C-alpha cells in the first residue's frame, strides 16, 4: 500500500489504520506522483497499477527503501612516520587522489586484493573507513575527445540556449551522422552544472555498446536500468538516481519513471522505436511520459532518430517540437549507394538473386563484412504436404507454425506453442513434406554452404536469449571474426560496425500490403535503418534490396528521395485521411474463449458510449482482430477516434466505470489502448 496524499477529511466511513511507516521520507517524489496521476488519467488505467509499473520490483515488497552501502576509505591527516610496504604505499597514493574517499570495491578493482594492507593502514591511523552508498564500478579508461563538426556543434549550442526551460527538440540526423556524440557532449555539459541526465534507449540489446561509448568519454557515475540488470541492481540504481548520486541514468522504456533530484536533460534515442510503447497492462508510451516529466521539471528533452516517427514530425509541423538536423555522415563516411533488384528471378531454393550473390562474393574478397537482413526468424514460415496440401497450423491461433530446423520443432511465434517437427503428413501420411519461404536459419545455412570458408553468424531472438549472448556476438563482429552476418532487425538498428560495406535486404514485400496503416512508415524506417549500417567507416558502402515489386511507388520515393521526403508525403496522406497523428485514437480490445462474448462486450461498450456521444467522436466496430484467434482466445476490437483529444478522453471518463460493472466485463479480458501503435 502506498500513501500518495494526506487529507483532513474523508467520506469513507471505515478507514484502515496505518500499520507501519516504512520510510522516513516519501519513496516517490512529488513530481513523479504528479506524473503518475497524469499517466493514470491519460491512459485510463488504475492509479495503483501505474505505481506498480513505475517502481522497481524490490521497492514494491513492503520493505524499507534503503540504499545499499559499502565501505569507503579515505586518507586521514596523519603523516607517514614508519616505512610501509609497497602495497600499502599504492593504497595511500591512490587515496591521495580521492579527497572524498574511494569505495572498497573500486580500490579492489584498481589494486586487487588489499584487505590486509587496508587493515594495517587503518591500525596505523593513516586511513579511515566509513559506510557510504555503493556505486557501480567506474572503469578506469582513457577518455578521448572527439571534435564535433559544425552541424553537431550548432545543435549542442541550440539545445544549450534552452537549457533552463521545457523545450522538446527533434534531432533528425541521418544514419551515422553522429547523434550519439551530440548526446555525449550535451551530457558532459549538464554534468558540469552538477545535474543529471536521463537517457532512454530502445530494447534491442544495444545498451552495452551505448553505455561503453559514454563510459569512455565521461568520468561519472552511470547506472543502467534494463531487463539485463538484476532486481537488486535495479533498485539500487533507482535509489541512487533519486538521491542524486547517479548522474547519468541509461535505460529502456520503464526507466522513464526514474526519479531525479537534480534533473538537467532527458534524451530519447531512436525515438521512433516501437519498444517505447508498452503493449500490455499499462499501455504507456515512454516518449509521452518523458515529455510530461521534462515539462514538470522545466528542462529540455532531445528526441533523436534517423527515421523520426510521424507523430514527432507532426509536432514539428505544429511548432511544438523544435527541429534540429544532421544532414551529413560524421567523419569521412558517406551514405551507401542503394540498388533494387527484382527477385522474381532469384533462385527459388535459397532466395538469393545472382546480383546479390556476386556482390557478397566481391565484398568478402575485399576483406569486408556483409549483413544480410531478413525480418523473419526460424528456418521457414510454411510447412506443407506436397500430396494433400496440408499445412502446419497452430491449434491455438490463426497462424502457421514456423519450422525451426535447429531445434527440430514447429513453433508458433504468436503464442509460443511448440510441437516436434513432423516427418510425415499427419493427414495423408505422405513423406513429401516441404518447407516454403526462408527465415534467418535457412539463410544462414545456405550462406554457409555457398561460402564454406567464411564464418557466418546469425543474430536473432533465438541466438541471443542467453544473458550477454548479444554483446558476445557483437564483440565477434567488431573483432572481424564473423564475416557474414545474418539477422533480423536486432542487427539492423543502431550498430556502428565500420567494416560492413554491403547490406543485402531479403523479402520485405509483406510490408507493402499490410492492413495496418502504419506499415509503410515502419517499412521505410526499417529499410533506412538497415541501409544505414553500410559504409559507416572509411570504406564506402553498398545496399542491395531484393523485391518482387521493383516498380512500386514506395521504393521509388524512398530510394530517390530518402526517408525525409517519404515521411513528409506519408504525413500529408495521414492528415488528408484524418488518421493518427492527425486524429486521436483509442482502441478497446476484448478477448475471450467464446467468440460471441468478446464481441457482445464491445457492443455493450459501444451502446453505452452512444448514449451520450460528443459530435466529434466516431465509434467504429466492433470488428474481429486481423488475427482473430490467438492463444486460444478470440479477439475483437472497437475503435474510438476524434479530431480533438479532449472529447475522446471525456467520453471514456464518463463511461468506463459503468462499463466496468457490466456482467461481461468480468468474463472477458478487456483493455483500453490510448494512441495504439499496433492495430492488428
Ligand X SMILES: Nc1ncnc2c1ncn2[C@@H]1O[C@H](COP(=O)(O)OP(=O)(O)OP(=O)(O)O)[C@@H](O)[C@H]1O
The listed partner (Zn ion, ligand X, none) that binds 412, CB under 5 to 8 Å by sort, is: Zn ion
The listed partner (ligand X, Zn ion, none) that binds 496, CB under 5 to 8 Å by sort, is: ligand X
The annotation status of 91 as a binding-site residue, yes or no, is no
CB of 394 to Zn ion, least distance (A): 3
Asked if 96 and 75 count as a contact pair (C-beta separation under 8 A), the reply is yes
Other C-beta atoms closer than 10 Å to the C-beta of 378 total 26
Per DSSP, 539 falls in state S
Asked if 414 and 629 count as a contact pair (C-beta separation under 8 A), the reply is no
* Closer to ligand X by Cβ: residue 97 or 150: 150
331 binds ligand X (CB under 6 A): yes
Asked if 165 and 455 count as a contact pair (C-beta separation under 8 A), the reply is no
User: How many residues in the shown chain lie near ligand X by CB under 6 A?
Assistant: 20
Asked if 349 and 357 count as a contact pair (C-beta separation under 8 A), the reply is no
The listed partner (Zn ion, ligand X, none) that binds 148, CB under 5 to 8 Å by sort, is: ligand X
Q: Which stretch binds Zn ion (CB under 5 A): 32-40, 389-397, 462-470, 621-629?
A: 389-397
Q: Which of 37, 138, 316, 415 binds Zn ion (CB under 5 A)?
A: 415
Residue 539 CB partners (closer than 8 Å, separation 6+): 368, 498, 499, 501
CB of 22 to Zn ion, least distance (A): 43
Which string of b and e fits 100-125 if b means at least 16 CB within 10 Å? Answer: ebbbbebbeeeeeebeebbebbeeee
d(CA 625, CA 618): 19
CB of 466 to ligand X, least distance (A): 25
CB of 255 to ligand X, least distance (A): 19
d(CA 69, CA 436): 58
Q: Which of residues 395-454 bind ligand X (CB under 6 A)?
A: none
Could you give the string, one character per residue 175-204, with x where binding to ligand X holds by CB under 6 A and - elsewhere?
xxxxxxx-----------------------
The annotation status of 397 as a binding-site residue, yes or no, is yes
Query: Looking up cell 466492433, which residue turns up?
Result: 622
Q: Which of residues 253-292 bind Zn ion (CB under 5 A)?
A: none
541 binds ligand X (CB under 6 A): no
Comparing CA positions, the residue from 629, 641, 620, 626 lying closest to residue 678 is 626
Q: Which of residues 490-529 bind ligand X (CB under 6 A)?
A: 494, 496
35 binds ligand X (CB under 6 A): no
Q: Residue 210: in which H helix or E strand, if any?
A: helix 207-217
336 binds ligand X (CB under 6 A): no
392 binds Zn ion (CB under 5 A): no
The annotation status of 343 as a binding-site residue, yes or no, is no
Task: Give 622-630's long-range contacts (Cβ < 8 A, gap of 24+).
Answer: 622/590, 622/598, 624/599, 625/589, 625/680, 626/515, 626/680, 627/397, 627/398, 627/399, 627/414, 627/680, 628/398, 628/595, 629/396, 629/397, 629/398, 630/396, 630/397, 630/398, 630/399, 630/414, 630/415, 630/591
Q: Which stretch binds Zn ion (CB under 5 A): 93-101, 114-122, 397-405, 633-641?
A: 397-405
The annotation status of 428 as a binding-site residue, yes or no, is yes
Q: Which stretch binds ligand X (CB under 6 A): 52-60, 172-180, 221-229, 420-428?
A: 172-180
Q: Would you give the end-to-end CA distance of the chain in angstroms?
A: 36
CA distances for 310 relative to 26, 155, 337, 574, angstroms = 39, 21, 25, 9
412 binds Zn ion (CB under 5 A): yes
* Closer to Zn ion by Cβ: residue 253 or 400: 400
330 binds ligand X (CB under 6 A): yes
562 binds ligand X (CB under 6 A): no
The listed partner (Zn ion, ligand X, none) that binds 415, CB under 5 to 8 Å by sort, is: Zn ion
The listed partner (Zn ion, ligand X, none) that binds 2, CB under 5 to 8 Å by sort, is: none
* Closer to ligand X by Cβ: residue 106 or 177: 177
The listed partner (ligand X, Zn ion, none) that binds 181, CB under 5 to 8 Å by sort, is: ligand X
Other C-beta atoms closer than 10 Å to the C-beta of 555 total 18
173 binds ligand X (CB under 6 A): yes
CB of 270 to ligand X, least distance (A): 7
Q: Which of 67, 94, 148, 357 binds ligand X (CB under 6 A)?
A: 148
Asked if 501 and 369 count as a contact pair (C-beta separation under 8 A), the reply is yes
CB of 152 to ligand X, least distance (A): 6
Task: Give 619-623's long-range contacts (Cβ < 8 A, gap of 24+).
Answer: 622/590, 622/598
414 binds Zn ion (CB under 5 A): yes
Per DSSP, 561 falls in state I
CB of 210 to ligand X, least distance (A): 9
Q: Residue 72: in which H helix or E strand, if any?
A: strand 69-75
- DSSP helix/strand/coil, 639: strand
Q: Which of 149, 295, 650, 671 binds ligand X (CB under 6 A)?
A: 149
239 binds Zn ion (CB under 5 A): no
Residue 15 CB partners (closer than 8 Å, separation 6+): none
- Summarize the annotated binding site as residue ranges: 385, 388, 394, 397, 412, 415, 425, 428
List of residues contacting ligand X (CB under 6 A): 146-149, 152, 173, 175-181, 306, 330-331, 494, 496, 532, 536
- Summarize the annotated binding site for Zn(2+) as residue ranges: 385, 388, 394, 397, 412, 415, 425, 428
List of residues contacting Zn ion (CB under 5 A): 394, 396-397, 412, 414-415, 417
Amino acid at each position: 500500500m502506498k500513501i500518495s496524499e494526506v487529507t483532513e477529511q474523508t467520506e469513507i466511513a471505515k478507514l484502515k489504520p496505518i500499520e507501519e511507516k516504512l520510510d522516513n521520507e516519501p519513496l516517490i517524489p512529488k513530481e513523479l506522483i504528479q506524473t503518475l496521476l497524469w499517466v493514470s488519467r491519460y491512459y485510463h488505467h488504475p492509479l495503483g497499477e501505474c505505481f506498480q509499473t513505475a517502481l522497481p520490483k524490490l521497492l514494491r515488497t513492503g520493505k524499507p527503501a534503503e540504499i545499499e552501502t559499502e565501505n569507503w576509505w579515505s586518507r586521514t591527516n596523519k603523516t607517514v612516520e614508519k616505512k610501509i610496504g609497497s602495497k600499502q604505499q599504492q593504497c595511500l597514493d591512490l587515496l591521495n587522489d580521492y579527497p572524498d574517499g574511494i569505495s572498497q570495491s573500486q580500490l579492489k578493482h584498481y589494486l586487487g586484493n588489499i584487505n590486509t594492507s587496508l587493515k594495517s593502514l587503518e591500525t596505523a591511523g593513516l586511513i579511515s573507513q566509513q559506510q557510504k552508498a555503493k556505486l557501480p564500478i567506474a572503469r578506469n579508461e582513457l577518455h578521448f575527445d572527439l571534435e564535433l563538426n559544425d552541424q553537431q556543434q550548432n545543435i549542442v549550442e541550440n539545445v544549450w540556449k534552452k537549457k533552463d526551460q521545457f523545450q522538446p527538440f527533434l534531432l533528425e540526423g541521418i544514419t551515422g551522422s553522429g547523434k550519439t556524440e551530440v548526446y555525449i557532449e550535451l551530457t558532459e555539459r549538464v554534468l558540469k552544472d552538477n545535474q543529471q541526465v536521463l537517457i532512454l534507449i530502445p530494447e534491442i540489446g544495444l545498451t552495452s555498446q551505448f553505455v561503453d561509448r559514454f563510459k569512455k568519454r565521461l568520468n561519472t557515475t552511470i547506472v543502467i536500468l534494463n531487463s539485463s540488470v538484476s532486481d537488486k541492481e535495479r533498485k539500487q540504481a533507482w535509489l541512487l538516481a533519486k538521491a542524486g548520486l547517479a548522474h547519468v541514468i541509461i535505460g529502456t522504456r520503464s526507466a522513464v519513471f526514474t526519479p531525479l533530484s537534480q534533473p538537467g536533460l532527458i534524451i530519447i534515442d531512436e525515438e521512433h522505436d516501437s519498444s517505447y510503447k508498452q503493449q500490455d497492462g499499462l499501455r504507456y508510451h515512454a516518449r509521452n511520459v518523458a515529455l510530461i516529466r521534462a515539462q514538470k521539471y522545466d528542462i529540455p528533452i532531445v528526441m533523436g532518430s534517423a527515421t523520426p516517427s510521424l507523430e514527432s514530425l507532426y509536432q514539428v509541423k505544429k511548432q511544438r517540437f523544435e527541429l534540429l538536423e544532421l544532414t551529413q555522415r560524421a567523419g569521412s563516411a558517406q551514405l551507401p549507394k542503394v540498388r533494387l533488384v527484382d527477385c522474381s528471378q532469384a533462385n527459388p531454393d535459397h532466395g538469393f538473386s545472382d546480383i546479390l550473390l556476386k556482390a557478397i562474393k566481391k565484398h568478402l574478397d575485399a576483406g569486408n563484412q556483409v549483413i544480410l537482413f531478413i525480418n523473419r526468424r526460424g528456418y521457414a514460415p510454411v510447412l506443407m504436404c506436397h500430396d494433400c496440401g496440408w499445412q502446419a497450423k497452430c491449434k491455438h491461433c490463426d497462424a502457421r507454425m514456423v519450422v525451426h530446423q535447429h531445434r527440430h520443432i514447429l513453433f508458433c511465434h504468436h503464442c509460443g506453442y511448440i510441437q516436434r517437427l513432423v516427418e510425415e503428413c499427419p493427414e495423408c501420411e505422405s513423406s513429401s513434406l516441404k518447407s516454403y519461404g526462408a527465415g534467418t536459419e535457412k539463410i544462414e545455412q545456405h550462406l554457409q554452404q555457398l561460402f564454406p570458408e567464411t564464418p557466418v553468424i546469425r543474430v536473432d531472438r533465438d541466438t541471443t536469449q542467453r544473458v550477454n549472448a548479444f554483446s558476445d556476438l557483437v564483440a565477434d563482429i567488431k573483432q572481424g571474426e564473423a564475416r557474414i552476418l545474418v539477422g533480423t532487425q536486432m542487427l539492423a538498428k543502431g550498430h556502428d560496425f565500420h567494416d560492413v560495406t554491403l547490406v543485402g535486404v531479403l523479402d520485405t514485400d509483406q510490408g507493402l500490403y499490410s492492413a495496418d496503416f502504419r506499415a509503410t512508415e515502419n517499412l521505410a524506417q526499417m529499410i533506412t535503418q538497415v541501409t544505414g549500417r553500410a559504409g559507416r567507416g572509411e570504406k564506402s558502402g553498398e545496399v542491395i534490396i531484393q523485391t518482387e515489386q521493383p516498380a512500386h511507388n514506395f521504393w521509388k520515393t524512398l530510394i530517390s528521395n530518402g526517408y525525409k521526403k517519404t515521411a513528409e508525403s506519408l504525413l500529408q496522406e495521414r492528415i488528408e485521411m484524418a488518421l493518427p497523428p492527425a486524429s486521436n485514437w483509442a482502441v478497446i480490445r476484448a478477448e475471450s474463449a467464446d467468440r460471441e462474448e468478446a464481441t457482445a462486450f464491445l457492443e455493450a461498450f459501444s451502446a453505452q458510449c452512444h448514449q451520450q456521444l460528443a459530435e466529434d467522436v466516431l465509434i467504429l466496430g466492433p470488428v474481429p482482430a486481423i488475427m482473430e484467434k490467438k492463444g486460444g482466445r478470440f479477439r475483437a476490437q472497437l475503435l474510438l477516434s476524434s479530431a480533438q483529444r479532449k472529447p475522446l478522453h471525456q467520453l471514456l471518463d464518463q463511461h468506463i466505470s459503468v462499463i466496468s460493472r457490466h456482467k461481461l466485463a468480468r468474463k472477458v479480458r478487456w483493455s483500453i489502448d490510448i494512441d495504439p501503435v499496433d492495430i492488428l
